[in-house]
């Protein structure tokens, strides 16, 4: 009932290059087309979740290609965030730059004790290009997002939990087990209810409270009228 995507470029700390983004994009499509998959777990192979955009590819940027570089990765992350099933990140190590941004485009984040988070782009003379100034601000507030983005400092998993960047922190050895237990719990509920909750919570950042409440009532009617609810 669920899928696992593992970022698998451990010798480069799962740095996000064009090929990795393309494969991730393809994997999202495969999962979207499979109605039996009702939750997604995203994690990384090795000691990193992802250590950011691939710095070698970044080197070749000019103004136009830089914009495209940012849009390409950003679009894949927005596709992930827009999935109709719950998307859980099991952050198993470094989640830096694009890695932190990728984790933030998931709906729930569990982190291992050894995970490290940060937006170090400022140290390279650039800025985050996949949502680090946008999703981080929504998640942790403007002051903390400014501080992390302006200093490039890394924070550990407990600090990430304190500021609301991750939901829970677990010992490295049980991170996947705990993430799968969460998925198990979600899969035990009505899929129609889960789908409506994912969409309603996700859309709340885009709507006024009035419009969001209207959207929720509409969804409530749809789900309440379903055979699943009657059962």
Least distance to ligand COA, CB of residue 23, Å:
16
- The sheet with strand 40-44 has its strands ordered as 3-7, 40-44, 87-91, 108-112, 168-170
147 is catalytic: no
- Rounded distance between C-alpha atoms, residue 148 and residue 130, angstroms: 15
DSSP 163: T
Q: Which of 45, 101, 177, 216 is catalytic?
A: 101
Q: Which two tokens stand for residue 50?
A: 């992802």
Measured from the CB atom, is 108 or 124 closer to ligand COA? 124
- Measured CA to CA in angstroms, residue 85 lies from 127, 131, 186, 199, 221 at distances of 30, 21, 10, 9, 20
Which of these is catalytic: 32, 45, 121, 231? 121
What are the angstrom distances between the C-alpha of 147 and each of 1, 114, 117, 144, 166?
40, 22, 13, 5, 17
Nearer to ligand COA among residue 2 and residue 69 (C-beta): 69
Nearer to ligand COA, 94 or 170 (CB): 94
Smallest gap from residue 35 Cβ to ligand COA (A)? 36
Tell me if residue 121 is catalytic.
yes
- In the complex, minimum distance from the CB of residue 205 to ligand COA, in angstroms, rounded to a whole number: 25
Binding site for ligand COA (CB under 6 A): 12-13, 15, 51-56, 94, 96-97, 120-121, 124
Q: Which backbone phi and psi does 48 adopt, to 5 degrees? A: -125, 150
> Encoding tokens for residue 120?
């170090």
Tell the smallest beta-carbon distance from residue 200 to ligand COA (Å). 33
Q: Which residues are catalytic?
A: 101, 121
């Amino acid at each position: 009932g669920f899928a696992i995507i593992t970022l698998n470029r451990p010798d480069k700390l799962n740095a996000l290059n064009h090929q990795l983004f393309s494969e991730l994009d393809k994997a999202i499509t495969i999962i979207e087309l499979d109605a039996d998959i009702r939750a997604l777990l995203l994690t990384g192979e090795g000691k990193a979740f992802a250590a950011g955009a691939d710095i070698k590819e970044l080197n070749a940027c000019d103004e136009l290609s830089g914009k495209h570089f940012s849009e390409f990765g950003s679009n894949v992350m927005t596709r992930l965030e827009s999935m109709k099933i719950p998307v859980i990140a099991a952050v198993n190590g470094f989640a830096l730059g694009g890695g932190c941004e990728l984790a933030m485009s998931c709906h729930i984040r569990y982190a291992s004790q050894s995970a490290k988070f940060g937006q170090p782009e400022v140290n390279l003379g650039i800025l985050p290009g996949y949502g680090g100034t946008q999703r981080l601000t929504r998640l942790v507030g403007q002051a903390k997002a400014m501080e992390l983005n302006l200093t490039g400092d890394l924070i550990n998993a407990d600090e990430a939990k304190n500021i609301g960047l991750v939901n829970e922190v677990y010992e490295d050895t049980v991170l996947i087990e705990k993430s799968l237990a969460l998925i198990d719990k979600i899969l035990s509920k009505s899929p129609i209810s889960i789908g409506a909750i994912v969409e309603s919570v996700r859309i709340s950042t885009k709507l006024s409270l009035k419009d969001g409440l209207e959207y929720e009532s509409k969804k409530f009617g749809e789900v309440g009228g379903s055979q699943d609810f009657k059962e």
